[in-house]
Amino acid sequence: MDRLGCVYLVGAGPGDPGLMTIKGRELLSSCDVVVYDHLASKRFLDWVPETCRKIYVGKQAGHHSMKQEEINDVLVELALSGHTVVRLKGGDPFVFGRGGEEILALEKHGIPYETVPGVTSAVAVPECAGIPVTHRAVSRSFHVITGHTQAGMECLPPDFGVYGTLPGTLVFLMGLGQLPLIAKQLIDSGKSPDTPAAVIENGTLPGERVVRAPLSQISSRVREAGLGTPAIIVVGDTAAYEMKYRTAGPLAGRRVGITGTEQFAGKLAAALSEQGAQVSWLVNMKVEDHIEEAPMQAAYRNLPSYTWLVFTSANGVRLFFQGLFKDGRDCRCLGHVKFAVIGDGTGRELSGYGFNADYMPDAYCAKALADGLVHAVSPGDRLLIARSAGGSPILAQTLLNAGIHFDDIVLYEVTGQPSASFIPEEVMGFDYITFASASGVRAFFDCLTQGGTGDKAVGIQGPAVHPKNPKLVCIGAVTARELERQGYKADITAAQYHIEGLVKAIIKDSFV
């Protein structure tokens, strides 16, 4: 018999990826297969390995992709085939998640499993909307109730009236379609028509909306507001509370799509979110190193002949030292070398390996780096430039014109793939799309082409810009020129070529 796999039932939490447990994220990053429901955020899928198989078994109102028995069979079959499976479920696996049914199926076949709790939306969604499910002297208990009935039945269970007699806070999950009936039966069974009620759509997510009204009016108010699923209903005195301190950053309500490597995109997303922006990672840029290839291996062997090491990115610094250590060398072989870096971020990465930059230009771009090196190096110096395959030709050309000896070697290349949250048809809905490199520009438009949408997805015909288009933001002039080669015009080019400069440029534009 083949090796048995293992199934991890992981709670994804209420929607915001930041509210998922560390253990859950670690399991996602190492699984063979992820079996997932209709997730409030597709960013969870960006955490799985590239080789991971993704199987959607979710259920949406009116669109049942797979029966529960079939889902059980899928989990059993995958585990019997030796796979490590993450069964990713919204909220918590045991709070109306039918995790128990899946476990019974696994136990029947002797399959090992583990449950990883998730932050339940029954508590987190009201809390993030400012509604405490309990509050001293107001609500000493809360009750979590499913508002979902059998398919095709537009009625509530016959004993539903008992909920109207319960004290404390009532929280209904999956009940939006039954809201008029829920409100009526609660009132008929004893709840005051004036009982505070609230409905929260897309709780914990950037598009969250909340409608508050007395129980007798909540259904009509929700209908007027056009709220949809996913939504949670809260009934009780605490539903009147709004314990939420509102800080409206300068980018509040603005949707920003970002491209970049995981490390860069994570920092940019955090900086934009801090200013109130709603951020989506559109294109995932992967760094593929060339450390083992002949040119870089020769460069490591010839290190004694170089007097300067030139780095044009933090990725270049990190990968260079990875290759150095992997080859059995250490920092002692660099004692005779001076270092030049393109900017502050690259300099900080270098300092992490115990070296300070001997030269860094005031302007963080390839031309400024090249011009500065022309004056900084001596006639007998020899430079090693270890950088990306798509690096700016200006650096090499300027050094060549000045008669400086150098080797320009490809250390890595950057390729792009659409992230799980990249939906070409929705690109027009963004206020800004940011680009941090020329390779990011190329990858973005390649992804649009692969999606069969082309220019129509962005809505820009050549350099002409329509007021309703997303504005295209570039980190620097080189990136902007690549955008022009694609037939588009950069609306914003950051004056400072780093994350802080990019964010400042967007903030400045938002006030225009």
Q: What is the pLDDT of residues 408-453, one digit of tens each?
A: 999 998 888 887 667 776 777 789 999 988 888 988 988 877 654 4
- Asked if residues 173 and 144 have their Cβ atoms less than 8 Å apart, the reply is yes
Whether 23 maps to a domain, the answer reads: yes
Amino acid at 474: C
**Strand-pair partners of 309:** 339, 384
Task: Answer whether residue 448 is part of any domain.
Answer: yes
Q: Is 360 a catalytic residue?
A: no
Asked if 186 and 163 touch (Cβ cutoff 8 Å), the reply is yes
Instruction: List the 142-146 sheet strands across, edge first.
Output: 142-146, 169-173, 231-235, 196-201, 209-214
Nearest to 271 by CA among 48, 500, 41, 425: 500
- Residues in the chain, pLDDT under 70: 1-2, 40, 59-65, 148-155, 246-248, 420-421, 425, 450-468, 512
* 174 is an active site residue: yes
Q: How far apart are CA 260 and CA 210, in angstroms?
A: 33
71 with 29, same domain: the answer is: yes
pLDDT of residue 244: 82
User: Which residue's entry shows tokens 């079959």?
Assistant: 77
- Say if residue 13 is in the same domain as residue 132: no
Q: Which of 59, 89, 191, 338 is catalytic?
A: 59
Q: Which two tokens stand for residue 339?
A: 């270092």
Q: Which residues contact 31 (CB under 8 A, 6 or more apart)?
A: 8, 48, 49, 52, 84, 85, 86
430 part of a folded domain: yes
- Residue 152's Cβ-count burial label (10 Å; 0-12, 13-18, 19+) is exposed
In the listed set 94, 119, 144, which residue is the last one of a domain according to the structure? 119
Q: How far apart are CA 215 and CA 65, in angstroms?
A: 34
The number of distinct structural domains making up the chain is 4
Catalytic residue among 32, 37, 431, 491: 37
Cα distance between residue 268 and residue 395, in whole Å: 26
Contact 137, 237 (CB under 8 A): no
CATH number of the domain residue 103 falls in: 3.40.1010.10
- Cα dist. 254→222, 230, 280, 507, 512 in Å? 24, 22, 11, 10, 14
Is residue 168 assigned to a domain? yes
Kindly tell me the number of DSSP H helices and DSSP E strands found in the chain: 16, 21
The SS3 assignment for 442 reads: helix
Among candidate residues 16, 32, 89, 174, the one labeled active-site is: 174
Which run of H or of E encompasses 301?
helix 294-301
- For residues 196 and 168, give the distance between their C-alpha atoms in angstroms, rounded to a whole number: 12
H or E, element range at 308 = strand 308-311
114 and 190, same structural domain? no
161 domain residue, yes or no: yes
Report the DSSP beta bridge partners of residue 388.
412
pLDDT reported for residue 378:
92
Q: Could you tell me if 57 and 43 lie in one domain?
A: yes
Distance of CA 277 to the CA centre of its chain: 13
Q: Can you read off the two tokens belonging to residue 299?
A: 């460069």
Amino acid at 408: D
CA pair distance 56, 59, nearest whole angstrom: 9
* Residue 69: inside a domain: yes
Do 318 and 396 lie in one domain? The reply is yes
Q: What is the rounded CA–CA span in Å between residue 170 and residue 181?
A: 15
Q: Which two tokens stand for residue 351?
A: 């300092």
Q: What is the pLDDT of residue 364?
A: 75
Rounded Cα–Cα distance for residues 312 and 438 (Å): 14
- In a domain, residue 27? The reply is yes
Q: Are residue 396 and residue 428 in the same domain, yes or no?
A: no
Specify the pLDDT at position 286.
84
Last residue of one domain, picked from the residues 91, 119, 147? 119
Q: Given CA atoms 449, 429, 44, 151 in this order, what sign does their dihedral have?
A: negative
- Closest-CA residue to 411 (of 246, 292, 247, 506): 292
136 shares a domain with 232? yes
> How far apart are the C-alpha atoms of 460 and 439, rounded to whole Å?
20
Largest CA distance in the chain: 92
Query: 113 and 130 share a domain?
Result: no
- Domain holding 309: CATH number? 3.40.50.10090
Q: How would DSSP label each residue in 33-97?
A: EEEE---S-GGGGGGS-TT-EEEE--EETTEE-S-HHHHHHHHHHHHHTT-EEEEEESB-TTSSS
- Cα–Cα distance measured from residue 395 to residue 404, given in angstroms and rounded to the nearest whole number: 11
Coil, helix or strand at residue 455? helix
Judge if 111 and 16 occupy the same domain: yes
Domain around 176 = 123-240
Q: Are 91 and 97 in contact (CB under 8 A)?
A: yes
pLDDT, position 12: 93
Instruction: Note whether 112 and 132 are same-domain residues.
Output: no
Its pTM stands at 0.67
- Vertex 151 angle, CA 145 and 153, to 5°: 80
Nearest alpha-carbon partner for 97 in 114, 113, 120:
120
Assess whether 297 and 409 both reside in one domain.
yes
- The tens digit of pLDDT for each residue in 290-310 reads 999 999 999 999 999 999 999
Residue 63 confidence (pLDDT):
52
* Boundary (domain end) residue, out of 86, 103, 119: 119
Q: Is the peptide bond before 230 cis (omega within 30 degrees of 0)?
A: yes
- 210 beta partners: 200
Q: What is the pLDDT of residue 456?
A: 38
Strands 308-311 and 492-493, bridge-based pairing: unpaired
Calculate what percentage of the chain has a pLDDT beyond 90.
57
Query: Which residues, other chains included, contact 295 with Cβ-Cβ below 8 Å and sequence gap of 6+?
Result: 409, 410
Q: Active site includes 37? A: yes
Residue type at position 88: L
Q: What CATH number is attached to the domain comprising 140?
A: 3.30.950.10
- Cβ-contact 260, 437 below 8 angstroms: yes
Rounded Cα–Cα distance for residues 251 and 505 (Å): 11
434 is a domain residue:
yes
Residues 430, 281, single domain; the answer is yes
